Amino acid sequence: MKSATGRGCARGLAVGALLGLVVYDLSFTASTGRATWLATVVLLTGLAAVLWPVARRPPWFTPQLRTAVPAAFSLACSVGAVLAGRSELLGPGEIVILLTLTFIAVRHCPQRWAVVCGVLDGLALLGLSARYYHSVTDENLLLVTVLGLVLLGSTAGMAGYLRSLDYRRTVAVTETRRAERLAIAADLHDFVAHHVTGILVQSQVARMMATSRPEDLDPVLAGIERAATEALASMRRTVGVLRDAGPDAAGHRPVGDLAAVAELVDGFASPVQKVTLRRDPTLPDDLPHEVQAAAFRVVQEALTNVRRHAADAAEVTVGLRRSGRHLEVTVTDDGHGGAQLPPAAHGGGFGLVGLTERVTALGGELRAGPREGERAGWEVRAVFPAGRF
């Protein structure tokens, strides 16, 4: 509130000072006995270009029009004074207006027009000294010209610097939005791939049980229905976020936590596969959210790979335990690599790549490979720094 009030006071002081300088210019012109209509046109046009409120500015009143027209009037006045051989002292109000218009041209005009309008405003400013070259010495004229060049260069340089900051900010926001959209798309892929893979596996189980154990089909069909519902919900929620992936999008991404791992394990179990969750009872629930989300993704991707590449696994174990100041996540199976899914459902191998990037970004480590020792199967192991326990 205080900041807004301070900006309003500063803006009011600047507007008042500019109006005072314009009144001084008109008063001085009138005191010399010269006609004031031309100076009035130039100054009022410049004031309109500088002070017209943004909210009430018509669409046709573009930055290039605002900066070019007053500069053209001022330059025409200077050329007229030279051709008529009369001396007209320049006023501070017109100088400030032209400097302000130069700033607006360089910072706000479209790229192709910024140079044109900036040069026109600069020529109008430098042309002010030509209005009284008959009445001053060459040394004073050179001094005024050099001073004009310094003011012009400083104003254009500051405007160009701020324009470059605006561009960098726009690029940064665009890249952030793009990265967030890619992350959300990756989340959508992970969730839907997990559920769809489950549907495929359970459909195959249902086909095998249709002739041998038809009385046990209902839990399998219920699992298919649940997986399809969750897949649709994930797509609907994530696509809604993708339509407006802004700064708050990360808070609505379909991420999980350690509590959701238990639900994930329960939903993965099937009549032919037993899944056991072993969670360290000393493991707290208030670990950093990004660590919990990454741990959930490790379990999700590992279970999905079991369905894709180790459909013959009879037992799968998910472990969550503390190891010093680290969280250790393991997913092991006893399969021999018997894949029953169609080749198109095997994936392109990007899941572990994405997991590795996610884990290493948090300062952790990920290992995936055959289980140690003589035991058959596969193990995925991730270790995350989890701060203080």
Each domain of the chain, given as residue ranges in start order, spans 2-136, 256-389
Q: Which CATH number fits domain 256-389: 2.40.30.170, 3.10.20.30, 3.30.565.10, 3.40.190.10?
A: 3.30.565.10
**Region of 347 on the Ramachandran plot (φ > 0 left; ψ -120 to 50 alpha; else beta):** left
Backbone angles phi, psi at 197, to 5 degrees: -60, -40
Write out the chain's pLDDT in tens, 389 residues. 556 676 778 778 888 888 888 888 788 777 766 667 777 888 888 888 888 888 888 888 889 899 999 999 888 888 887 777 766 666 788 888 999 999 999 999 998 899 999 999 989 888 887 776 555 555 666 777 788 889 889 999 999 999 999 888 888 877 877 776 776 677 666 667 666 776 766 676 677 677 777 766 777 677 777 777 767 776 776 666 666 555 444 444 455 788 888 888 887 776 667 888 899 888 887 888 888 888 888 888 888 788 777 767 788 899 999 887 888 999 988 877 655 555 544 554 446 777 788 788 888 888 888 887 656 788 889 998 876 55
State the pLDDT at residue 249: 47
Which 3-state string (H, E, C) describes the chain?
CHHHHHHHHHHHHHHHHHHHHHHHHHHHHHHCCCCCHHHHHHHHHHHHHHHCCCCCCCCCCCHHHHHHHHHHHHHHHHHHHHHHCCCCCCCHHHHHHHHHHHHHHHHHCCHHHHHHHHHHHHHHHHHHHHHHHHHCCHHHHHHHHHHHHHHHHHHHHHHHHHHHHHHHHHHHHHHHHHHHHHHHHHHHHHHHHHHHHHHHHHHHHHHHHHHHCHHHHHHHHHHHHHHHHHHHHHHHHHHHHHCCCCCCHHHHCCCCCHHHHHHHHHHHCECCEEEEEEECCCCCCCCCHHHHHHHHHHHHHHHHHHHHHCCCCCEEEEEEEEECCEEEEEEEECCCCCCCCCHHHCCCCHHHHHHHHHHHHCCCEEEEEECCCCCCCEEEEEEEECCCC
pTM score, whole prediction = 0.55
